[in-house]
């Protein structure tokens, strides 16, 4: 009986800690991104954060789980769009200097080999 109660209490504490962490990390990242993201998208994530904060205040585990999922989905949309905007920029930088990686852009390699079927040795 007590083990069951302890398990529920432990889960509630873990979910609350995870929710607090989600709020902190998401707000921190939004602040770091600043004006790199669209104001309406930022506002969308902030609304979801407020819902999560209210769920934390209520101490409602199920509501916290749902709200965390919403925050993560809203933030995922923002970060995905940000990544897509930066990806073409990265491609331009990569294509500008193909030797940057130190690889062989011609696709040919210098190597010694021995023809196993040859009698010339």
Residue 69 in domain: yes
Residue 72 in domain: yes
Look at residue 64 and tell me whether its pLDDT is greater than 60: yes
Residue 73 in domain: yes
Residue 115 in domain: no
16 contacts 60 by C-beta, under 8 angstroms: no
What does the alpha-carbon distance between residue 68 and residue 58 come to, in Å, rounded to a whole number?
14
Q: What's the CATH number where 26 sits?
A: 1.20.1270.10
Residue 59 in domain: yes
Residue 13, domain extent: 2-95
How many domains in the chain? 1
Chain center to CA of 103: 29
CA torsion sign for 30, 71, 43, 63 is negative
Model pLDDT for residues 18-51, shown as the tens digit of each residue: 999 999 999 999 999 888 888 888 999 999 999 9
One DSSP character per residue, 60-80 reads -HHHHHHHHHHHHHHHHHHHH
Residue 104 in domain: no
- pLDDT confidence band for 92 (50 / 70 / 90): low
């Amino acid at each position: 009986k007590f083990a069951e109660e302890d398990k529920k209490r432990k889960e509630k504490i873990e979910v609350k800690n995870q929710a607090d962490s989600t709020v902190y990390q998401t707000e921190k990242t939004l602040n770091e991104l600043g004006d790199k993201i669209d104001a309406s998208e930022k506002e969308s994530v902030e609304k979801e954060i407020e819902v999560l904060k209210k769920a934390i205040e209520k101490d409602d585990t199920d509501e916290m789980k749902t709200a965390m999922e919403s925050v993560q989905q809203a933030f995922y949309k923002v970060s995905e769009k940000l990544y897509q905007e930066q990806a073409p920029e990265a491609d331009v930088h990569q294509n500008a200097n193909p030797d940057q990686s130190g690889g062989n852009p011609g696709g040919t390699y210098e190597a010694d080999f021995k023809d196993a079927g040859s009698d010339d040795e």
